[in-house]
């Protein structure tokens, strides 16, 4: 079941899982004349950036500019490959074979890593986007395709996956370091998957409630699902969404809560 603890999950040196966390955000989602998110402002508060690679969002200029911004801000860079479906922002699943998934992940990670090299940086991680992320969480074949693609591009990359998911398992099987991700503003189902965005309760809009849930996930390894049941969950990195109007205020509030609770915020590669 998604959400359970796995044997061999690496503990962080110098501290328990309860006192260190990475804070990541999906960025670089503008393209052409369309502007999405508040990347510059959000970047001041996060430690890892997942940069769109031109399929579900982003374009070459935006990718280049966002990589430069992350390096200027001292934020770790990750590739954020998605499905080739701009109309639905990569949030609808397409009937793709594992071979096709492998190729689209290699293509997008390769594109972003080229911009990172041009700018003199280093790619830290890969996090699939939207429907690709959600399907890889429960479908072993798709998860394996994503993990193998990342490993073949660069086996030093860290793979981000939904906590306790098939993607996390596949990443470990191919020898990658993985980061189990939790979400500050998303509801969970009893099986540990994210509540579909088609449901009205999928996104948590109350910032105080969202912050309290995150602190509990980090400190206690627990989260309350949509039906009221309690899930075990591991939190290596927390995702916040930069395309929401209140994104900057929320991520600032989250950082303040971490400080108040003596939770260190560090790049996932430093944990």
Q: What tens digit of pLDDT does each residue of 36-85 get?
A: 888 999 999 999 999 999 999 999 999 999 999 999 999 999 999 999 99
Mean pLDDT on 138-146: 98
2 located within any domain: no
10 located within any domain: no
- Domains of the chain: total: 1
Predicted TM-score of the model (pTM): 0.90
Whether pLDDT at 262 is above 60: yes
164, 137 Cβ separation under 8 angstroms = no
Position 91 scores a pLDDT of 82
Position 159 scores a pLDDT of 98
Whether pLDDT at 242 is above 80: no
Mean pLDDT on 235-255: 86
228 located within any domain: yes
* The pair of three-digit structure tokens given for residue 217, joined into one six-digit string: 């996930």
Cα–Cα distances (Å) from 74 to 36, 82, 183, 189, 194, in that order, read: 22, 25, 23, 35, 30
First to last CA, the chain: 26
3 located within any domain: no
Mean pLDDT on 20-26: 95
Position 4 scores a pLDDT of 37
229 located within any domain: yes
Position 12 scores a pLDDT of 38
Domain harbouring 154, CATH code: 3.20.20.370
Q: Which domain holds residue 237?
A: 20-270
Instruction: Round to whole Å and give the CA distance between 98 and 36.
Output: 30
Per-residue pLDDT band for 226 (boundaries 50, 70, 90) equals very high
Instruction: Round to whole Å and give the CA distance between 151 and 145.
Output: 10
Three-state SS for the chain is CCCCCCCCCCCCCCCCCCCEEEEEEEECCCECCECCCCHHHHCCCCCEEEEECCCCCCCHHHHHHHHHHHHHHCCEEEEECCCCCHHHCCCCCCCCCHHHHHHHHHHHHHHHHHHHHHCCCCEEEECCCHHHHHHHHHCHHHHHHHHHHHHHHCCCCEEEEECCCHHHHHHHHCCCEEEEEEECCECECCCCCECCCCCCCCECCCHHHHHHHHHHHHHHCEEECCCCCEEECCCCEEEEECCCCCHHHHHHHHHHHHHHCCCEECCHHHC
Per-residue pLDDT band for 183 (boundaries 50, 70, 90) equals very high
Position 17 scores a pLDDT of 45
222 located within any domain: yes
Whether pLDDT at 5 is above 80: no
Instruction: Round to whole Å and give the CA distance between 66 and 7.
Output: 37
Per-residue pLDDT band for 243 (boundaries 50, 70, 90) equals low
Percent of the chain with pLDDT over 70: 92
13 located within any domain: no
Position 248 scores a pLDDT of 87
8 located within any domain: no
């Amino acid at each position: 079941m998604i959400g359970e603890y796995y044997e061999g999950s690496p503990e962080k040196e110098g501290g328990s899982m309860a006192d260190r966390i990475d804070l990541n955000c999906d960025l670089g989602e503008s393209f052409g004349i369309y502007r999405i998110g508040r990347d510059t402002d959000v970047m001041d508060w996060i430690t890892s950036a997942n940069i769109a690679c031109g399929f579900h969002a982003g374009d070459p200029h935006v990718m280049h500019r966002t990589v430069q911004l992350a390096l200027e801000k001292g934020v770790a860079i990750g590739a954020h490959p998605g499905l080739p479906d701009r109309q639905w922002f990569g949030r609808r699943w397409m009937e793709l074979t594992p071979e096709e998934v492998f190729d689209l992940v290699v293509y997008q990670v390769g594109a972003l890593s080229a911009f990172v090299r041009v700018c003199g940086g280093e790619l830290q991680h890969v996090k699939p986007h939207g429907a690709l992320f959600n399907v890889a969480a429960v479908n072993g074949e798709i998860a394996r395709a994503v993990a193998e693609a990342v490993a073949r591009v660069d086996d030093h990359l860290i793979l981000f996956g939904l906590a306790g998911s098939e993607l996390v398992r596949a990443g470990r099987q191919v020898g990658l370091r993985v980061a189990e991700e939790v979400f500050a503003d998303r509801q969970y189902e009893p099986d540990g998957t994210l509540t579909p965005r088609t449901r009205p309760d999928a996104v948590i809009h109350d910032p105080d409630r969202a912050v309290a849930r995150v602190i509990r996930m980090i400190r206690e390894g627990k989260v309350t699902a949509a039906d009221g049941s309690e899930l075990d969950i591991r939190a290596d990195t927390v995702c916040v969404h930069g395309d929401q109007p209140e994104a900057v205020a929320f991520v600032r509030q989250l950082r303040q809560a971490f400080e108040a609770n003596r939770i260190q915020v560090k790049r996932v590669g430093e944990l």
